[in-house]
Amino acid sequence: MWLALGALLAVACVLLVAAPFLRDPGAADDRLDQSAEGERERIVLAEERDRALAALKELEFDHRTGKVSDDDYRAQVGPLRRRAAEALRALDPQRTKEHAHAGR
């Protein structure tokens, strides 16, 4: 009898420990938390900034190595700088306001 009770107790312990592993996880269990709308917008702006800065870096490199002529460089560098500046301003509107007030 004690042997049967011991075996029953062992089986109960194994089931108790294994229960979390045996459950079927719900579909929502493996998703990352959804970020807030403002955070998504900030990520998009950061990606735009990174793309513009990378394009500027590549253009600068191509100009220095002679792949891009002076005329083409001048035509492309301005719009890329504006894109990067706009993304930077959008990412940090408070700093933009402080900078505007400091210039007065």
DSSP string across the chain: -HHHHHHHHHHHHHHHHHHHHHSPPPGGGGSPPPPPHHHHHHHHHHHHHHHHHHHHHHHHHHHHTTSS-HHHHHHHHHHHHHHHHHHHHHH-HHHHHHHHHHT-
Per-residue model confidence (pLDDT) at position 64? 96
Domain range annotation of the chain: 36-104
* Residue pLDDT tens, the chain, 104 long: 888 888 999 989 888 888 877 776 665 555 555 666 678 888 888 899 999 999 999 999 999 999 999 999 999 999 999 998 998 898 887 555 555 555 55
**Predicted structure pTM score:** 0.55
